[in-house]
Every structure is written in C-alpha cells, then in structure tokens.
C-alpha cells in the first residue's frame, strides 16, 4: 500500500462496497437464470472497476481476486453461456473472498488519524498476511490494540457495531 490520503481510502471503501454489492446481486440474478448479455457485461465492468480501484490504493490481493472475476465474466460473455452450478459456486465464493479481503484492508486503515499519518505497504501486507494465516479471528479492537497502530483513537470503534 502506497502513501495515499485517508480520503482516498474512504472513497475506495465506498466504491468497493457498491461494486461488491452489484457483483453479488448480479450473480444471484444469474443463478436464477436471469441471464442477459447486458447483465454479464455489467458484472464484467464492476469487476474491472474494482480491480482498477484496488490497484490505485495498492490492495493487490483485492485486485487479483477482481481480475479473476473479470476474466470469468469475459469468458461467459464470449461463450454467451450461463455459469454452471459449479462455476456459480466458484463465482460466489470468490465474491465472498473479495468481501473479506476488502473488510480486512478497511479494518486496518479505519481510525487512522485524519492527520497525515500514513500506513506503509509493508505494514499492511504484513498485517493482512498474519490475519489471513491466523486460526483465530481478530476483532477490530484487537487490531487497534496492536503495536503498529498504537496511539490510534479508539473512539473510531463506535463505527464498528458488534466488535
């Protein structure tokens, strides 16, 4: 993750949420058999947009998952076919993975002071990898208490109900 402004990450959070919602709703519509060329194209564009947004903020895991989805939708566009049951399970699974990767990335940047305190690419990559490999799920409170985020204003936890 490069040195982006907090505002850039906030915009990414909003855009990613909207695009993942569009991907989820679209895939559920496909699963019901509501296939149209336009729907497949919209899903392709949503995955492409998310891939670009993730690249901008250097969330490469998110970019890679979005790229995988984009490639899948291109395949369906070119073949003019509906995904099989197995392919649909794969698509929805990747969208769930995408949502988790976005949640993890956002959890790590939320609450950083509005001052020019910026996270480094190595900080985020290391923390994401350790969270991914961990057998226990860290809560936002655990993340905020970690040493590399020491000093972060914990009142931001009010934005995470249930944690």
pTM, two decimal places: 0.65
Q: What are the extents of the domains in the chain? A: 6-134
- Confidence grade of residue 133 (pLDDT, cut at 50, 70, 90): low
Angle, CA 29 vertex, CA 71 and CA 49 arms, to 5°: 40
Residue 44 near residue 74, CB atoms below 8 Å: yes
- Confidence grade of residue 132 (pLDDT, cut at 50, 70, 90): low
Is domain 6-134 given the CATH code 3.40.1160.10 in the classification?
no
Q: In sequence order, which ranges of 58-118 are alpha helices (DSSP H)?
A: 60-79, 85-109
State residue 103 phi and psi, 5-degree precision.
-60, -45
The confidence score (pLDDT) of residue 130 equals 62
Residue 139 pLDDT > 90? no
Higher pLDDT, 45 or 117: 45
């Amino acid at each position: 993750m490069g040195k982006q402004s907090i505002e850039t990450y906030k915009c990414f959070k909003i855009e990613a949420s909207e695009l993942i919602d569009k991907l989820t709703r679209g895939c559920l519509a496909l699963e019901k058999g509501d296939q149209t060329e336009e729907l497949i194209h919209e899903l392709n564009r949503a995955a492409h947009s998310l891939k670009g947004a993730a690249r901008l903020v250097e969330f490469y895991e998110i970019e890679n998952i979005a790229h995988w989805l984009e490639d899948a939708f291109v395949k369906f566009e070119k073949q003019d076919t509906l995904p099989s049951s197995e392919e649909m399970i794969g698509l929805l699974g990747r969208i769930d993975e995408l949502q988790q990767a976005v949640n993890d990335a956002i959890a790590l940047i939320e609450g950083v002071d509005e001052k020019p305190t910026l996270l480094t690419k190595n900080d985020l990559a290391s923390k994401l990898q350790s969270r991914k490999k961990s057998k226990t799920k860290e809560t936002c409170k655990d993340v905020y208490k970690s040493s590399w985020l020491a000093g972060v204003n914990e009142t931001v936890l009010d934005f995470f109900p249930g944690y």
